[in-house]
Amino acid sequence: MTQINLDELSHLQAINKKLVTGYHISEQDTVMWQELDQQIDAYRALFSALGHDLQHDSRGFYYFASDESTPNMGKISRAIALTIYILIEHYANSGKDPMRALFDEVSDLELMQTLVQMNKHLFDQLEIFSGSDLRKDVYLRMVRLGLSREVETGFMLQAPIYRYIDALMEVNEETYIGEDE
């Protein structure tokens, strides 16, 4: 039985507010991350009693696991997935180390425009027609989910992106949902 001393969980409110909206708390959110790190048992017990599944990923982030998304959230998630995979391909094509570039390079509006132009028919399916659409529909949402942070010249991706990399490795012909299903 874990003893939970609420007085010690001084950032419970902020952490809860972030996590229930799907936000990923990573090391960049220093204060919250540190508290979660130190009081992980208490938080895990508390949240699981509230029906949430608090997950700690060893690559440095915390989030609530969920088996399903709301339809709207699902669409956002697919848009993010597509953007990440296109980014990886883009970096690899330009001769960079994709994983390093993914986390080290700043995504600016110019890059977004290039991505959308080069993959027009893919982004069309998600109703993203321009670089600024991509910024608004994908990057700003990623910020809200804690997947990226806004910097002076654009956006930097953060560790929770690994969830998409994991998902990438899972894709194969069998995950295809045919029209008849």
Partner 1 sequence: MIPAKKLLNTLTEHWGMLELLFKRFKMADFSLKDVQNAIKQKQPTWSNERIYKETNRLLNQDIIIPLAKSSQLEINRAIADFATFLLQEEHLGLAQEITVLVDDLARLGDRLDNAGSIEDYDEMRRFSRIMDDRVRKIMKLFAHNENAILNIVEQAKANNAVQSLQKRYQAVIEAFDEYIEPMLEMVDIRGSFHACFNTIESQISSQIESIERSGKAYQDKRMLERLRTRILEMHLVGRESLRKSADMLMPLREELRRNNMITRQAAKVLGLVRKNGVDNMLTAVQPNFVSDTQRFSLGQQRHIIAYMAALAEFEHSEYELPDQQDVPSFVTPNIPDYHNVKANFKKRFNSKRKKPQPLLTFLGESYPGLEADEMLFLYQKLVSDSEIEISQSDEKMRVKIAGQHFSLFPFNTKPIDSKPVVSPHTGNE
Residue 51's alpha-carbon distances to 8, 21, 73, 122, in angstroms, are 21, 14, 20, 37
The residue within the footprint of partner 1, chosen from 21, 48, 114, 117 (CB under 8 A), is 21
Residue 168 near residue 162 (C-beta atoms within 8 A): no
What token pair was written down for 163? Answer: 């969830």
The 10 Å CB-count burial string (b at 16+, else e) for 32-56 is bbebbeebeebbbebbeeeebebee
Q: Report in angstroms how near the CB of residue 150 gets to partner 1 at its nearest.
A: 19
Token pair of 152 as six digits:
């002076």
The upper half-sphere exposure of residue 51, i.e. CA atoms within 13 Å in the direction of its Cβ, equals 2
Kindly determine how many residues on this chain lie close enough to bind partner 1 according to the rule CB under 8 A.
55
Which of 45, 111, 122, 156: binder of partner 1 (CB under 8 A)? 122
State which of residues 38, 66, 117, 132 lies at the interface with partner 1 (CB under 8 A).
66
> CB of 7: closest distance to partner 1 in angstroms?
25
Q: Per CB under 8 A, does 49 bind partner 1? A: no
- Residues 6 or more apart whose Cβ sits within 8 Å of residue 155: 106, 107, 139, 142, 143, 148, 149
Q: Which is nearer to partner 1, 58 or 175 (CB)?
A: 175
Scanning 3-11, 34-42, 96-104, 148-156 for contacts with partner 1 by CB under 8 A, the matching segment is 96-104
Using CB under 8 A, pick the residue from 7, 152, 179, 180 that binds partner 1.
179
CA 3 from chain centre, in angstroms, equals: 32
The site for partner 1 (CB under 8 A) is made up of 19-22, 52, 63-70, 72-74, 77-78, 81-82, 85-86, 88-89, 92, 95-101, 104-105, 119, 121-122, 125-126, 145, 163-171, 173, 175-179
